[in-house]
Structure 1
């Protein structure tokens, strides 16, 4: 799997697989096989309190592995990377704040004006790191490295916001005892992950797997969304070992887990939406490409003028616009937020999923155009 693994660790192939899986989900959900596939996705597996449908095993089980990989990268960036000091993080932090606040305002303005549901305001706040970097890799030859660094820091901060939303807004029937046991399991996981030595390697690896599964079960039973277990474990694990585990898991996350989640999340029968789309659809579909672009570019420009350190590379307004468009590609976390925000309303739920796919696709096209434009500009500047 060495050759395949290297391709799955690249920026391009995972983005293509994710888009293809989402498209396949839409096609299947609107084909003659739709009823059978949807019924299969609702089949339950498990025992006792850990009894989930297949689609929930994907969104709460497998996706916890994705959040583990994301949080390992977050841990690295906070300790040794671009976010290791407030001075270095101030510019992408302000841009990320704009990229969260403006889409929320756009969504709420459309939802309130149309007397629609306001519960979907967190949905357009997320950025899909893998997809954004994939578009940058495909169309961005010649762009300054500072733009990639800025986008990576911005997207990671975006992920922090998304994680907080999932943990705080979508906890149900909170069981503090189970949550306390989960914290104890995480502490034990952190301690064991720091035990080293050739003799300890086998039992340490086995213990970490057991503790990780125990943490996931306890978080699930606590009422907090089970993907938060992956976040806690990724932040707690000893960094050297965590980076090795991340490297091993990355091809599986990019090649299997994320496409499978995109496929199951996109199993939306379009005819069920009907002829009149709700304000929730338009709020998400517009806030992702437009709200993100305006929020990130505007806040990034303000940050560079008034808050950025003088020795930090400055990005032209065109580069900030390209970064803003890339930020509007929501996909993974936005799909999860849409699934959670409208879990109790099947019709609006389907519309929200379609809106994420529509808005993210619009942002993808816009980002491709802006990134290509800026890449050509920078290549001309280098040759002149």
Structure 2
């Protein structure tokens, strides 16, 4: 279980799943595998979805639940529990959203791909922290904390986009019932444990499934149910649930989603014939994120109180920006949603997500390695100069 909870494991498995899906989709077995993804499962005439939607709307709701629990903790007890702490990453996150959108629209404005502008706004926290774990030995904890806060704020933006932009024809009655189920879930999660803990846990599972079904039937994207449940649950049982679910999310939920989303046939066309969605995402992730996060992060140091957050140099901000360009999971979901009615554009946007995230990953690995070496050398020099007073936590990721 330790491996399944490590920062490196999710990044490696996600990457492997996406590569495998691309290879299989473009193999002689590609049509058959895509056919399985489009097969409908459920109770005929009552509740049916394709295999792809069971993964995207069903399993991914568990991932969003885990994200929401982490968000709840950070907002109450963590790195975002005050305006002072959140100021710098919030301003940087704003740049990491606005600039990629502008870059994307520079390619796609006025075309049928313009609706994909939310795609390059996301940061895949699992991938970003995985790169830090692999290449960042020696980085101070301040950089990791900044990236974590930045990625969580990006997740909030992605959740808002999903809830607002990709909701059509809301059934108010179903949504009201879903809110009742979520409220009951929150109240019951605060009940005392004791000998009734198993019964309460089973009731919570039933209420969670009920809320998910009702949200799906309401017309709101079903993953929002996971967000609502994670925010409504009492913090201590929520953290226990997150701890229990984390290995399954890392080993099954996210790899299955990455595999499903990356089942894309690479178009046999010239570069000039590719959709603006491909080029917009490809450039917006590695370039827009780096420029946006670095520029707005630099501005935040001058707007806010320098004592409000760990001081980050331009080189640190560039590194965080490159890590922020690894969009992957949420970007893939946004791609699926933005072009649900245009499979060809959706596939090219998905390829843009994979390629842009790969470019960001390589750039981030290089920058993280360089910054880690810099901090290790600086830490060694400080230790040699004053071995008694050197900060033992300065060169270690927490």
TM-score, normalising length from structure 1? 0.97
Aligned to 1:169, which of 139, 158, 165?
165
Structure 1 residue 40, shift from structure 2 partner: 0.8
Are 1:216 and 2:218 matched, yes or no? no
The alignment partner of 1:195 has SS state of coil
Aligned to 2:256, which of 238, 256, 260?
260
Aligned to 2:87, which of 87, 90, 97?
90
Q: How does 1:319-358 map to 2 (within 5 A)?
A: 319-358=316-355
Are 1:68 and 2:69 matched, yes or no? no
Residue 152 of structure 1 is matched in structure 2 by: 148
The alignment partner of 1:110 has SS state of helix
| 1:65-115 Cα deviation digits (max 9, x unpaired) | 0000000000000000000011110000000000000000000111128x4
The alignment partner of 1:270 has SS state of coil
Further displaced range: 159-168 or 310-319: 310-319
Q: How does 1:214-363 map to 2 (within 5 A)?
A: 214-271=210-267, 276-363=273-360
Aligned to 2:98, which of 98, 101, 106?
101
Further displaced range: 38-47 or 260-269: 38-47
Structure 1 residue 311, shift from structure 2 partner: 5.0
C-alpha separation in 2, matches of 1:171 and 1:316:
40
Aligned to 1:190, which of 186, 190, 201?
186
* Ranges in structure 1 where 5+ consecutive residues have no aligned partner: none
Whether the 8 Å contact between 1:90 and 1:308 is mirrored in structure 2 is no
Residue 195 of structure 2 is matched in structure 1 by: 199
TM-score, normalising length from structure 2? 0.93
C-alpha separation in 1, matches of 2:99 and 2:281:
12
Whether the 8 Å contact between 1:170 and 1:224 is mirrored in structure 2 is yes
Whether the 8 Å contact between 1:273 and 1:350 is mirrored in structure 2 is no
C-alpha separation in 1, matches of 2:259 and 2:198:
36
Number of residues of Structure 1 aligned to a counterpart in Structure 2: 379
C-alpha separation in 1, matches of 2:349 and 2:218:
27
C-alpha separation in 2, matches of 1:40 and 1:321:
42
C-alpha separation in 1, matches of 2:109 and 2:160:
24
Structure 1 residue 272, shift from structure 2 partner: 5.9
